Amino acid sequence: MPVGSEISVNARLISEALKRCADERAEILLTPEGSLSGYRPDFDAMEMTSALTQVTALARRLSVGLALGTCFREADGKCYNQVRFYRPDGEYLGFHSKILLCSGVVPRPEDEINHYAVRKLRTFEWARGVTFGALICNDLWGNPYCTPMPDDHLTQRLAEKGARVIFHAVNGGRDSSEMSHLNWQYHEANLRMRAGAGDVWIVTADNAAPVDLRCSAPSGVIAPNGAWACQAAPQGLQLFFHTIDLDCGGARAQPTPSGAPQS
């Protein structure tokens, strides 16, 4: 979805997606990085809390789980760039906070590393004993242009903790330059190689703004063999559905033959 700075607009887009998910009987919706608050630490905290209550209440009424990318100020007073998890019955499972915060070698005032707190990597438990985890944008690929800390290969760490699925919320920069094209290739290669190396499914969704440019990274579902099981169009607002069958073919389940989005 196109992620903007207006919380009310973001909330409307997420709410529309939740209604489509209910129609398609989807179990969980993944949204991009910062998709509710906007990708910024200076959001209106009261407006953000109200929108979060509204969106999660709708998800609960529709019986759709949420992997919600947003920035949020927790009770400890610190702001976290998060993926927040809710079961279809509305139970809040907790959040993953972005760990590989973007910055130059010498942090500038606007760099992420100056604005967001970090918590330890963790996993979550879904229904039927399924363990899963989350990563946010640079967490997965550790872009050398903006990663001042060591890349600990967080997909591998989640796999070691028993995660079978990783939900990956993205909000990458993009333009029409050759470097932007190179970033796309780097992002896709890392998504596919790290899914294969960790023997995990990766579900990934990028910010689509501005809608007249291709996204910074592909969105879709990658199987544990590193192949795309489902891939969305590379530009504009996209809502895609895919069924991950964790019981089919063991950990390294095969992608669907068509590679097309499925509901």
Phi, psi of 53 (to 5 degrees): -60, -40
Residue whose token pair is 């610190």: 78
Superfamily in which the 7-231 domain is placed by CATH: Carbon-nitrogen hydrolase (3.60.110.10)
Q: Are 170 and 216 in contact (CB under 8 A)?
A: yes
pLDDT tens for each residue of the chain, 263 residues long: 999 999 999 999 999 999 999 999 999 999 999 999 999 999 999 999 999 999 999 999 999 999 999 999 999 999 999 999 999 999 999 999 999 999 987 888 889 999 999 999 999 999 888 999 999 999 999 999 999 999 999 999 999 999 999 999 999 999 989 999 999 999 999 999 999 999 999 999 999 999 999 999 999 999 999 999 999 999 999 999 999 999 763 444 444 433 444 33
Closest CA to 209 of 1, 42, 32: 1
Peptide bond into 107 cis (omega under 30): no
Q: Are 98 and 123 in contact (CB under 8 A)?
A: no
Q: What is the per-residue pLDDT for 106?
A: 80
| 3-state per-residue secondary structure call for the chain | CCCCCCHHHHHHHHHHHHHHHHHHCCCEEECCCCCCCCCCCCCCHHHHHHHHHHHHHHHHHHCCEEEEEEEEECCCCCEEEEEEEECCCCCEEEEEECCCCCCCCCCCCCCHHHCCCCCCCCCEECHHHCEEEEEECHHHHCCCCCCCCCCCCHHHHHHHCCCCEEEEECCCCCCCCHHHHHHHHHHHHHHHHHHHHHCCEEEEECCCCCCCCCCCCCCEEECCCCCEEEECCCCCCCCCCCCCCCCCCCCCCCCCCCCCCCC
pTM of the model as a whole: 0.94
Q: In what order do the strands lie in the sheet with 131-136?
A: 124-125, 131-136, 165-169, 201-205, 220-222, 228-231
Q: What is the per-residue pLDDT for 198?
A: 96
Task: Give dist(CA 107, CA 139) in Å, integer.
Answer: 18
Q: What are 70's two structure tokens? A: 């947003």
Report domain extents, the chain: 7-231
Q: Are 136 and 81 in contact (CB under 8 A)?
A: yes
